[in-house]
């Protein structure tokens, strides 16, 4: 239990934050929707005066028919210099250049000597991990139906493709960092480990991300291509979506490498097309992984019906057979094992997924058990950056 002096200090700090937010045109509520090592995220409201001054904010909230925002308050006075000088500027830059295209929106930033405030888009339906677990509780098999997984995964691929198109690699892709808005569309968030790159094949060295989603070359402390590392994470996310479990489960990097090398197992029925796509992404050798263009045109992903997906892929020079229109926000009905467009069986690329492994272990726990931390149902969570390895 907090001491009286601690509670009083917290109360005074919150009142300061309320005052500072009001001075900048926002009403800060006491409802906390997320927290990190150096930050807290509160539900807030944009005033009419603010919306008259900020066209981007007004336009988006008008479409949403509410004035709610997520206000992320970062205690820059308490955060380490590495975070304030390196990771926070990268996050702000990434949010600015990936504006829209299924990424969480940064409406405004204001700061003083003690704190930095990020006014972010509110995604009110929680994160993908919560959605997978809630859906699994209602189904015979854990995970999402393939039709719904396909609809959401197309959006995720579109969001990541847009980031790569503008020279941003995310480096922390996971189910907790994919939010759902009030319409059921995804919003990619938490760009705290994102970084920009100028050369297509440039290599990075910082150890980033959550172990369960991190590419093996990063776990082995090798220099890595950020785009190819993001592709591995996409494979883990898709596996989690259709099975309700994580493909590889270890908390220590050196142990995780051993588990990955043992091979990938599918312990419940999914369509051969979906399995082929997952195996193509979860290749031990980075260069052997399917690229975003190959993912976009994979038969499990077709026919694509999302106008956003079509537009982003077209900007990459990819023109999947596509019936362009507004994708339905609600999950489509379907059964597990539904396939995409018919076509000849694609050969499965060799990799860890096809090497014989040990006998299947007993039934897994829900994916929730392996989440490293609970996530807010609203917006990105600033936390202490894991120690870089250079």
Which residues participate in catalysis according to the annotation?
172
Handedness of CA 267, 273, 276, 282 (dihedral sign): negative
How does DSSP assign 60-113, residue by residue?
HHHHHTS-EEEEEEE-TTTS-HHIIIIIHHHHHHHHHHT-STTB--EEEEEE-S
How far apart CA 186 and CA 174 sit, in angstroms, is 13
How far apart CA 178 and CA 232 sit, in angstroms, is 16
How far apart CA 4 and CA 229 sit, in angstroms, is 47
Cis amide prior to 303 (ω within 30 degrees): yes
Location of structure tokens 């829209």: 100
How does DSSP assign 271-303, residue by residue?
-HHHHHHHHHHS-SSGGGSPPHHHHHTSGGG-S
Strand stretches in 164-220, DSSP E: 168-169, 178-180, 186-188, 195-196
Nearby residues of 12 by Cβ (< 8 Å), 6 or more positions away: none
183 has which bridge partners?
Answer: none
């Amino acid at each position: 239990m907090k001491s009286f002096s601690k509670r009083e200090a917290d109360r005074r700090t919150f009142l300061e934050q309320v005052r500072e937010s009001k001075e900048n045109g926002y009403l800060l509520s006491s409802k906390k929707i997320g927290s990190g090592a150096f930050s807290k995220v509160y539900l807030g409201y944009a005033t009419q005066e603010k919306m008259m001054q900020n066209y981007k904010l007004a336009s988006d909230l008008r479409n949403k028919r509410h004035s709610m925002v997520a206000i992320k308050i970062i205690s820059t006075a308490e955060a380490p210099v590495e975070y304030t000088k390196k990771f926070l500027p990268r996050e702000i830059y990434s949010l600015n250049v990936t504006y829209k295209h299924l990424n969480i929106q940064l409406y405004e930033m204001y700061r003083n000597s003690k704190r930095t405030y990020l006014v972010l888009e509110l995604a009110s339906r929680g994160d993908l991990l919560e959605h997978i677990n809630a859906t699994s509780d209602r189904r015979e098999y854990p995970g999402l139906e393939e039709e719904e997984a396909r609809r959401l995964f197309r959006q995720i691929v579109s969001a990541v493709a847009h980031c790569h198109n503008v020279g941003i690699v995310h480096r922390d892709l996971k189910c907790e960092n994919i939010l759902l808005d009030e319409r059921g569309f995804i919003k990619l968030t938490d760009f705290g480990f994102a970084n920009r790159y100028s050369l297509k094949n440039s290599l990075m060295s910082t150890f980033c991300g959550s172990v369960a989603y991190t590419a093996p070359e990063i776990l082995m402390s090798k220099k890595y291509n950020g785009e190819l590392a993001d592709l591995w994470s996409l494979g883990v996310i898709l596996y989690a979506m259709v099975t309700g479990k994580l493909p590889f489960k270890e908390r220590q990097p050196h142990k995780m490498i051993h588990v990955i090398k043992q091979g990938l197992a599918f312990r419940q029925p999914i369509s051969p097309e979906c399995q082929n796509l997952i195996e193509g992404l979860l290749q031990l050798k980075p260069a052997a992984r399917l690229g975003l263009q190959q993912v976009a045109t994979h038969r499990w992903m077709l026919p694509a019906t999302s106008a956003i997906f079509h537009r982003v892929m077209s900007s990459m020079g990819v023109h999947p057979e596509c019936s362009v229109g507004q994708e339905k926000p609600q999950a489509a009905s379907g059964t597990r094992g539904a396939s995409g467009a018919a076509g000849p069986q694609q050969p499965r690329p060799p990799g860890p997924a096809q090497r014989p492994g040990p006998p299947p272990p007993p039934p897994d726990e829900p994916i929730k058990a392996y989440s490293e931390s609970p996530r807010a149902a609203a917006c990105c969570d600033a936390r202490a950056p894991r120690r870089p390895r250079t």
